[in-house]
Amino acid sequence: MLNLQPKKPKSPQIYSASKVQEDYLSTPIAATVISQQMIEQSGALNIPEVLRLAPGLWVTQKTNGNYEVYIRQNNTITSGLLQDSKNTQLLVVIDHVPQYDYLFAGITWETLPVTIHDIERIEVVKTPSVVFYGNAAISGVIHIFTKRISSQKFRFSWQSQTGAAAFNLQNGGTQGFSYLHQGSVSGGLGDKFRFRLSGHYYFLKRFQEDYYLLFDNRLVPSDSLLDFKSNAFETNLNTKKGQERFGLNAFTTYVFGKKAVVHTNLAYQQSFAQTIQTDDTLALAQRTANTLMAQVNALVDKLHVTASYHIGERDYAQGYADNQFSLNQFQVLADYKLRYREIDIQPGVGLLWSHYTPNQVPDSSIGFTNYYAFVKTNLNPVSKLRIMASLRGDFFTQADQPLLSYQVSSTYKIAGQIIRGSYTYNEAPVLARQLRQNIQHTILPQVSPNNSSTIELGWSANIQSKINASLALFLNQGGYQYADFEGANPASTRIDAFNFAQAGLSTEVSVRWSKLGIRGFVTLQRSGQTLNDLSQQGFSSTPQFYGGLQFNYEGLLGRLNLNTQLYFYENYTIDTPYQVVAIPAKMLLNLKVSYKVWKENSIFLNVRNALNNTSQEFVFADQIPAFYLIGLQFTL
C-alpha cells in the first residue's frame, strides 16, 4: 500500500535542474545523475571521489580522503595564500538543505553528515544555480539525495574494507592501514512509517609522514617538526592521520495520506582532516568538527517545506588562535506549485540564519542572515518547445544592497533529440578574510557584489535505447572581490577585484551492450581574465583538458562485477608567494572486482590509482600512490 519510492524509470530522473522531476536528458541546463549503482560499482571511497564520475568536474586530492572539487572553473588563488586555496563558489545540498559554511566560505567535505552508503543518487547541475539554491551555487550545485525505504521488512546492511598504500605494503609495514566501516538498519511499521538508521567510521592514514616547509622549499620528517615550529605538537600532533570520521543518521518517513508525506533526519558527526590550509611554516593544517543536525522535508500536495537546525563546534585550524567557533544555524524554505492557464508557476521564500561564536571571545558572534524569494515559470507554447524563466532576490542584513539573479532557458525536441540553450546571471555577497592566519570570512558592505553570467548551448539524445549522448558548450564571465594581504602584516589588507572568463565544451557518451557498459566524457576549456585571453594562453592554473572513461562488466549470472575507471587531467601550475609549483598531468586507473558469494553478500578487491602514479595533485600536497583495499558487504 505504501510506495515511497517509485519504480525505477528507464532513464535517470533529475529534480535539481528545474525543481521538477524529469528525464535528465530533457533538462534545460547541463546536468548529470550519478546513481547508487554507479557509486557502488566504482569503488569510490567518499563523495568527492564519486564526483570524478561526472563530466565537467575537476577533482584533486590533497591528502588521503581530502579533496577539492571544481565545476568548469579556474583554480587561480587570487591572494596567492594557501588559506584561499579552496573553491568558494560551489554548493553542496543534501535532501534540499544547503551545506555551505559561510564563515569558512566553502565546503568542508569531511563534515558532511552522510557517506556514500547513505546515497540514493547525486545530481550535479553544472550551470550556475543561484536562482534555486542560493548565492553559494554561483558555479553549480551538487545535490545529494539519501536512500528512501519502501519496504517494511527489517533489513541489515554492512560494508567494511581495509587497505594500505603501495609503498607501505612493499616495506612490509602494518602501521599504515586504513579502515572504512559503514552499516545500516531499516524497516517499517504498518503502511505509513519507515525508518533507516545508519552509521560510519573512517580512519585514513596519510600517504606520507613528512611535511613541506614553505619558506625552506623542502620536506622534513614528522619527528623533526619541533626544530622548525615550536608549537608543532599543538598544530600538527597527528602527523600520520589524513582523515578520521564518525557519524550516525536516523532517517524516518511518515505518510499521512495520498498527498502528504514527511521525511526527517537527525545526524551527528565527528571529523578530523589534515589538509592544505595554512601559510605559517607548514602547508598542512589539522581541523576538527563535532556537530549535530536535524532536518525536516514536508510535502503536502503542491507545497514543499524544508527546515533544518545545525549546532556544534568547529576548529578550523588546531593550534592557531581565533580559528575555533561554535556554530548555530537555522534554515527554512517553502515553495508552492501552481498553474495559471498554460503556465506552471513555482514561487518560494526562505531564510538563512547562521551565527558563529568565537571560543576565545564568547560574548561576540559573527552572523549571516539571508532573506530571499524566488519564482520559476515554465511554459510549453507548442508540444516540442519548452521555455523556463526564473528570478531570485536575496537580502543579507550584513550587506548594503539586495542581490538579483535570474535564468532563462529553453529546450526543443526534434526527432528524438533535445536542443537546449540558457542564459544565467548570478550575484553573491562578497565574503572576505580580514586576517592572514584566520579562516574567518565576513560580508563586506559597500562593495559591488560578486557576479557571473553564463551562456550555454547543449544537445542530448537517446539512440536506440542503448546509447546516450550529450554535448554542452559554455561561456562564463564575471568578477569577484577578494582580500589581498601585503606581506606578513595581518592588518595590511586591501580589497581587490578579479575578473574571469571561461569557454569550453563537455561531451559524454554512454553505451550498454548486454553485460557490458561503457561510458566516456571529456571537458575542454580555457580560462582567463578576459575574453581576449581565451584566444591566447589563458590561465595556466587550470587544466584545459580533463575527463574520464569507465567500463563495467557483469557476468556469471550477475555474481561477478568488474569495473575499471580512468580519470585524467592536463598539467597546470599554481602561483604562491613561496614559489610557482608545476603539477604534472595525471591519469588515474581505479579497479573494483566484486563477487556475490550468496544473494547480496559479496567480497571485493578495490584498487585506487592502480598505475601507482605518485605525483602530487595539488600544491605542497602529499604524494598519492596506489591504494589497495579488500572488503566485504553483506545484507540480512
pLDDT at 435: 80
Residues ≥6 apart with Cβ < 8 Å to 529: 498, 499, 500, 501, 539
Locate cell 602547508: which residue? 283
Encode 518-577 in three state secondary structure: EEEEEEEEEEECCHHHHCCCCCCCCCCEEEEEEEEEEECCCCEEEEEEEEEECCEEEECC
pLDDT at 531: 87
pLDDT at 171: 62
Say if residue 53 is exposed, middle or buried (CB neighbours under 10 Å; 0-12, 13-18, 19+). buried
AA letter at 98: P
pLDDT at 606: 98
Is residue 377 within 8 Å of 365, Cβ to Cβ? no
Give every residue of the chain whose pLDDT is below 70, as ranges.
1-10, 169-175, 485-493
As a whole number of angstroms, the distance between CA 385 and CA 88 comes to 36
As a whole number of angstroms, the distance between CA 470 and CA 490 comes to 49
Fold annotation for 13-635: Maltoporin; Chain A (2.40.170)
pTM: 0.95
pLDDT in tens, 196-248: 999 999 999 999 989 999 989 899 999 999 999 999 999 999 999 999 999 99
At residue 340, the 3 state secondary structure works out as: strand
What is the DSSP annotation of 163-217? Answer: EEEHHHHHTT-STT-EEEEEEEEEEEETTTEEEEEEEEEEEEE-S---EEETTTT
pLDDT in tens, 157-179: 999 999 999 877 666 555 689 99
pLDDT at 4: 40
Instruction: Share the mean pLDDT of the chain.
Output: 92
**Strands of 359-490, DSSP E:** 366-379, 385-396, 403-414, 417-428, 431-433, 441-443, 450-463, 467-485
Please state, for a pLDDT cut of 70, what percent of the chain lies above it: 96
Nearest to 141 by CA among 308, 293, 17, 11: 17
Locate cell 535570474: which residue? 406
pLDDT in tens, 96-114: 999 999 999 999 999 999 9
As a whole number of angstroms, the distance between CA 334 and CA 374 comes to 10
